[in-house]
Amino acid sequence: MLSARSLFQEILDNDDSYQLFCSIAASGETQGGWENARIAALVPAAMSDLAPRITRHGADEDKHGRIFNALLKKRGLEPVPVPPEADYTMLLERAGIGLAHEKLGADEPLTERDIVVYLSHSRVTEQRAADQMVMLVKFFGDHPEVGKAIRMISNDEDNHLAYCHEELLRLAAAGHGRTIQRTLRECALAEIKIYRDVSLAVTSRMGRLLGWPKPKAAVLTAGVHAIYAYERLGGWRRMVRLRMPERRGALDGPATAAAAAF
C-alpha cells in the first residue's frame, strides 16, 4: 500500500535516494541562509530593528544545511549536485518570487517595499517548509538516525513562520496591508506551480533510483497533480492568511547550535 510514510521510508533506506534527498534539502537551506544574510546586511535604516531577526533566520537556515550535510556524512555519503529541475529556490527566483539575487549581491540598501516582498515570500515558503516538517516529525520524529535533526528543524520552521506572521501584521498596521495581501497572493499562486514541478522532477528521479514500476510511478505522479489541483482551487489560501502567532518574538536571541541535533 502506498503511503507517505512508506515512501519516505523507502527513500531513507536506500543510499542513493537518501543522498539525493539530503543534497536537495541542504542546498535549499544553505541558499536561504545566504539570502537572509544579504537581506540583513542591506535592510533600510528605517527598519533596522528587523536586522537581528533576519540574521537569526539566516543562521537557522545555514544550520539546517549543515545538519543535512552531517546526516550524509554519518552514512559515509557526499552531497550530489541538485538537478536544475528540482532546485526549488532557483526556480522561485526565476519566477520573480522574492528578491532577485542580482539585487542582493549589490551594496545598495533595500527599500521598505523590498522588505515587505521578502517577508511575504518567506511567509509562503515557510508555510510549505513547516507543513513538510510536521509530516516528517509525525512519521520519523523518533527515528534513531534522523529523528533529532527533524525535530530541531521542524521547531525552527515553526519559529520562522511565526516570525513572518508577526512582522507582516505589524507592517500591515503601519499601512502596507494592500501590498502585503497582493504580494502574498502572487507568491502563493506561483509557489504552488513550482512546488508541483519540483515534486514531479523529484518523483521521477527517485523512481529511477529506486526502480519503481511504471504503475507505481504513475500513481505518485497523479498524486502530485491532485495536490496541485487542490491547492489551485483554494488550498493556496492557507499560505496567505495572517494571524498573530502564539510564539511571539520567535526569532529573538541567537540560533541554537546544530550540534544539539546529534
Average pLDDT over residues 22-46: 96
Residue appearing with cell numbers 506572521:
165
pLDDT digits (tens, 9 = 90+) for 182-224: 999 999 999 999 999 999 999 999 999 999 999 999 999 999 9
Q: What is the pLDDT of residue 161?
A: 97
Domain that holds residue 152: 4-261
pTM: 0.94
**Coil, helix or strand for 123?**
helix
Average pLDDT over residues 78-104: 94
- Taking 3-state DSSP, the helix, strand and coil percentages for the chain, each rounded to the nearest 5, stand at 80, 0, 20
Name residues whose C-beta falls within 8 Å of residue 94's C-beta, 6 or more positions apart in sequence. none
Which of 230, 228, 201 is closest to 217 using CA atoms? 201
In this predicted structure, the answer to whether residue 254 has a pLDDT above a threshold of 80 is no
Q: What is the pLDDT of residue 259?
A: 54
Average pLDDT over residues 156-184: 97
CATH value at residue 187: 1.20.1260.10
Average pLDDT over residues 128-138: 96
Task: Count how many domains the chain has.
Answer: 1
Q: What is the pLDDT of residue 17?
A: 97
Looking at the chain, the whole-number percentage of residues with pLDDT higher than 70 is 97
Instruction: State the pLDDT confidence band at 1, using cuts at 50, 70 and 90.
Output: low
**Average pLDDT value over all residues in the chain:** 94
CA distances (Å), origin 88, targets 28, 99, 242:
7, 15, 24
- How many Å separate Cα 52 from the centre of its chain? 20
